Every structure is written in structure tokens, then in C-alpha cells.
Amino acid sequence: MIEHHLPALQVLLPLFAAPLLMFLVRWPTLAWALTTAVCWATFLVSALLLEAVWAGDPISYAHGGWEPPYGIEYWVDTANALVLLIVSGISAIVMPFARDSVEQEIPRDRIAWFYTAFLLANAGLLGIAITGDAFNIFVFFEISAIASYALIAMGRDRRALLASFTYLIMGTIGTTFLLIGIGFLYMMTGTLNLADLAERLPAVRDTSTIRAAFAFIAVGVSLKLALFPLHLWLPNAYTYAPSMVTVFLSATATKVAIYVLLRFFYSVFGVEFSFGVLPMGYVLMPLALLGILIPSIVAIFQADVKRMLAYSSVAQVGYIILGFSFASTLGLMAAMLHLFNHAVTKAALFMALGAIVYRIGSTRIDAMAGIARDMPWTMAAFVVGGLSLIGIPLTAGFVTKWYLLLAALEAGLWPIAVFLLATSLIAVIYIWRVVEAAYFRERPAGAAPVREAHPALLLPTWTLALASVVFGIHTALPIGAATRAAEILLGGYP
């Protein structure tokens, strides 16, 4: 019976565990242990879900027995099962890392609160991905966002507060736009169920209300996924958040928002409407190209590695958006693939950085001079992640680069292929700056001695670093899932 309720468990596990943690304020280690257990359980659930939809049909789960489209429906197919796996997988892997890192960065009496917020954010993101109801998407967006504001505000740097506040304003605008768009859709169709919407929209789609709805949803979600030039909240939020939060959010939050955009564009509005009637391809592609180029160059000039990686994240979002702006199966597949590969790669990088911060207490490149000798394993993990970010063969990043290239060439856009190859060189430069500092410079005189990071920090870091290599060689899982996800998204709701 339990497997029948897996979709509900996916969200309810973290959602209900979160308030429980508030009773554990005095026992932070226990709070951590409980969070870890919940995260691994949700990971297991999402793995089971992916397995179930991989072979069989999509799962439709009616909450409380209210049949869709009247009740709230959870809908799982390969496309969002992959997203669920990314979110729950990253949170599960980050938890062993969190213990030491959080203990150092968060005051002891707030650790339980921290994990409460973390689980809520987790539940929100999982909810966005799994639900088949438009209004539910808005609700879960707000749950995850409000929890994220709290998480970011707990950063040690006082600027974290301002960063969180800015994120709050921008995030609220984003979700409000989304709500306005959903309201328009409801007004015209009288339904909130995504599959039902997809069915009823063609009849009314030539109205200006639907076009306005499209615009509000597109801009609102683009804000959440940090599409250039709506990314301005992201660098500060990622830079000043606690290490563990940055790892988690960078790998999951923008990815889930991208998934929502894909769902609306491809499944709800339909590819013909989004890219045929409305010239979405022409809107997204230039923004994606600018979004790759400018943040990449900005990243080169950053003195703070965390900020540099944050800008790199904006650029990577650009690659994903570029992939799906081709509106082809291959392009969409490349986008889904990069969703997965970038989550793994960037999480590995931010985690390695977190381990460095744990030892030297700073994220500045200058402070990292010469640490490779004392922290060889941490830096090696950083290099592996960096190679994957650049897209060196036999890493996950190369696989994405290859498919993006093919998609660009398939669309006959060879200048974009050249552009892709050229911008991957920019990543070489900014990753190199860190490698150069850590491997080739001497420790500054009088700097405190540094030891290799704790195994509890190293193990999850290396798990992800190795994953970014394994998924570059053994590509069956990500490519299979991404291909099926692309087919499903293009096919719309059955």
C-alpha cells in the first residue's frame, strides 16, 4: 500500500518533520540526525518514483481521494521525477557535510531552527516539482522561498541580511507575477489543474488575457531562475548564505524554477503556442547568450570565489535556457541533462569551497594562496568539479556541452556552436585563477597553519566530484532520463 502513497510522502515527509525539529532546539545533533534521516528517506522515495515511472506510465495521485481536476493532483513522470531526484539527492548528500559546517557557521541555539527552515525549503522545492496543480505551484514556491530567505539571512556576514531582504523583494515579485498569470489562466479556463489547463487552453489561446498570463508567468519564473538580467539577487544571496545553504540552493532552487518554466512552456501552453505563435525562442535565445557571456566575464574579475561561482551559476542557467530555446527534442534534452549535470558539478564545487571555508574562514582567492599543499584532497575535488564545469572530456560537463553543440548545429546555428566553445574557455580562466592561487602561490607569510578538511566534509564532496566524473563516462542514467523527459515535455500531457 505504501508505494501507492509515495508521491504524497515525497512532500509530506520533510513538511511534517520540519515542525518536529523545533522541539529539538536543545539537542542540535539530534536535530541534524533527524534531518539527515528525513532527507535520505525522501531520496529513497524519489528514487522509487523514478524507477516506477521509468518503465511504466506516469503516476497521478489524487490527494484525499478528490479526483482531478477538482482536487489537488500530484503528477509524476520522468521529467519531474528527475528533478525530484536532483533535489532530494543533493539534500541527502549535503547532510553529512552540513553537520560540521553548520556547527561552525550557525549559533548553537539556532541550529534546530536552521534545519527546520532547511526541511521546509526542501519540502517546498519538492512540492513545486511534483504537483500537477498551478495554484499549488505558487504555494510551494512561497514555502520554499520564505524558508530560503531565513536560511540566507543566517549567514555569518552581516550583508547576508540585506542579501536576503533583496531576495525577498525579488522573490515576492516573481511569485506574485506567477500568481497573476495563474489567475488569468483560471479566469479564462476555470481550472487550475495543469493537465486540464493544457486541454482547455487551445480554445481560448488567441485572447490577449492568455498572452498576458504567458508574459507574467514567463517573467515571474524567470526571476526565480535568475535569467539574465533578472539575476541580480542571486550573487549576493549565494555569496553571503551559509556554505551548506549555498550548496543546496545552487544545485536545486534555480533548477526547480527552470523545470516550472519548461512545464508551462512545453506541456501547458504547448510548444506550438510558446515557440510558434509567440516568438519565445527569439526572446530567450538572446537573453541566454548574454546571460552566458556577461556573467562569465564578471566571474573572471571576482576576488571572492563564492561570488565567482555564483556568477558562474547564472551563466550555467544561460546554457540551460539556451538548450531549451532551440525548441527541439535534442535541445530540450541537452537542457534537462545540464539541469542534472550542473547540479552535481556546482554542488561539488561549492562543497569543496565550504570545506576550505571551514579551515581558513574566508572565501577570498588571496586567502586561498598555497593551500593545495595542506588540503590536497579538498583542492583536488575542486579541480575535478572545475574540469566538469569547463567541460573537459570524461566529465559530466562535456556530455552537456556535446549535446548543446549538436543541438545548435542541428538548428543550423553554427555561430552559436562557436560561441558555446568560446565561452567554455572563459570558465577555464576563472577556474584557473583559483587553481593558480592554491597550487602555484606560496602561503602568505604569517598565515595560520591549515589542515586537511575533516573526512565528514571530504566524503560528500568527493561523492559529488566523483559523480561528476562517473556521469561523464557512464551516461545511461542522465541521458536516458533526460531524453525521456524531453520527449514527455514535448508531448504535453497525455
Partner 1 sequence: MTETGALASGTWLHPSLLLILGTLVIPFLRGRVQQGYRLLLSLVFLWVVWTIAPGTYGSLQFLGLDLVPGRVDTLSLVFAYVFSLITVIGTIYSLHLKDNVQHVAALIYAAAAVGVVFAGDLVTLYVFWELMMLASVWLIWRRRTPQSYAAGMRYLLVHTASGVMLLGGIALFYTQTGSIAFEQIDITGPAFYLILIGFMINAAVPPLHAWLSDAYPEATVTGAIFLSALTTKTAVYVLIRGFPGTELLVWMGAVMALWGVVYAVLANDIRRLLAYHIISQVGYMVAGVGMGTAIALNGSASHAFTHILYKALLFMGAGAVIHMTGKSKLTELGGLYRYMPYTFLLYMIGAFSISAFPLFSGFVSKTMVVEAAAVDYRMWIWLMLSMASAGTFLHTGLKLPYFTFLGRDSGLRPQEAPWNMLLAMGIAAFFCVFIGVYPAWLYGFLPAPVDYNAYTLDHLFWELQLLLFTGLGFFLLLKHVGGEPKISIDTDWLYRRALPATARWVGDRGGAAWQGLLTLSRRSIAAFVTGLARHHGPGSVLARTWPTGSMVLWVAIILAGSLLIYYV
Least CB distance to partner 1 at residue 81 (A): 21
What phi-psi label fits residue 64: left (phi over 0), alpha (psi between -120 and 50 degrees) or beta? left
- Looking at the Cβ atoms of 71 and 370, the one nearer to partner 1 is 370
Out of 136, 222, 246, 345, the only residue in the binding site for partner 1 (CB under 8 A) is 222
Residue identified by cell 571530504 is 458
Out of 107, 473, 491, 494, the only residue in the binding site for partner 1 (CB under 8 A) is 473
Considering just the CA atoms, what is the radius of gyration of the chain in Å?
21
Site string for partner 1, 139-168 (x = CB under 8 A): --------------------------xx--
Least CB distance to partner 1 at residue 213 (A): 10
Q: Kindly report the three-state secondary structure assignment for every residue of the chain.
A: CHHHHHHHHHHHHHHHHHHHHHHHCCCHHHHHHHHHHHHHHHHHHHHHHHHHHHHCCCEEEEHHHCCCCCCCEEEECHHHHHHHHHHHHHHHHHHHHHHHHHHHHCCHHHHHHHHHHHHHHHHHHHHHHHECEHHHHHHHHHHHHHHHHHHHHCCCCCHHHHHHHHHHHHHHHHHHHHHHHHHHHHHHHCCCEHHHHHHHHHHHCCCHHHHHHHHHHHHHHHHHCCCCCCCCCHHHHHHHCCHHHHHHHHHHHHHHHHHHHHHHHHHHCCHHHHHHHCCHHHHHHHHHHHHHHHHHHHHHCCCEHHHHHHHHHHHHHHHHHHHHHCCCHHHHHHHHHHHHHHHHHHHHHHHHHHHHHHHHCCCECHHHCCCCCCCHHHHHHHHHHHHHHHCCCCCHHHHHHHHHHHHHHHCCCHHHHHHHHHHHHHHHHHHHHHHHHHHHCCCCCCCCCCCCCCHHHHHHHHHHHHHHHHHHHCCHHHHHHHHHHHHHHHHCCC
Cell numbers given for 448: 595560520
| Binding flag, residue 209, partner 1 (CB under 8 A) | no
- Looking at the Cβ atoms of 205 and 263, the one nearer to partner 1 is 205
| Binding flag, residue 48, partner 1 (CB under 8 A) | no
Least CB distance to partner 1 at residue 67 (A): 34
Residue 446: CB atoms within 10 Å:
5
Task: Tell me, by CB under 8 A, how many residues bind partner 1.
Answer: 55
Out of 25, 283, 360, 380, the only residue in the binding site for partner 1 (CB under 8 A) is 283
| Binding flag, residue 431, partner 1 (CB under 8 A) | no
Least CB distance to partner 1 at residue 456 (A): 24
Q: Could you tell me which stretch among 122-130, 139-147, 415-423, 459-467 binds partner 1 (CB under 8 A)?
A: 415-423
Least CB distance to partner 1 at residue 462 (A): 16
- Looking at the Cβ atoms of 29 and 207, the one nearer to partner 1 is 207
Out of 8, 173, 380, 477, the only residue in the binding site for partner 1 (CB under 8 A) is 173
Site string for partner 1, 224-243 (x = CB under 8 A): -----xx-xx-xx-------
Out of 414, 444, 447, 455, the only residue in the binding site for partner 1 (CB under 8 A) is 414
- Looking at the Cβ atoms of 296 and 345, the one nearer to partner 1 is 296
Residue 125: CB atoms within 10 Å:
34
Q: Could you tell me which stretch among 27-35, 76-84, 388-396, 454-462 binds partner 1 (CB under 8 A)?
A: 388-396
Site string for partner 1, 253-282 (x = CB under 8 A): -------------------------xx---
Least CB distance to partner 1 at residue 426 (A): 11
Least CB distance to partner 1 at residue 268 (A): 16
| Binding flag, residue 170, partner 1 (CB under 8 A) | yes
| Binding flag, residue 347, partner 1 (CB under 8 A) | no
Interhelix angle 396-410/329-360, nearest 10 degrees? 150
**Positions in 50-109 near partner 1 (CB under 8 A):** none
- Looking at the Cβ atoms of 9 and 372, the one nearer to partner 1 is 372
Least CB distance to partner 1 at residue 351 (A): 23
Please report, as ranges, the residues that interact with partner 1 according to CB under 8 A.
Answer: 165-166, 169-170, 173, 177, 208, 211-212, 214-216, 218-219, 222-223, 229-230, 232-233, 235-236, 278-279, 283, 294, 297-298, 300-303, 311, 392-394, 399, 402-403, 405-406, 409-410, 414, 417-418, 421-422, 424-425, 428, 440, 473, 475, 479
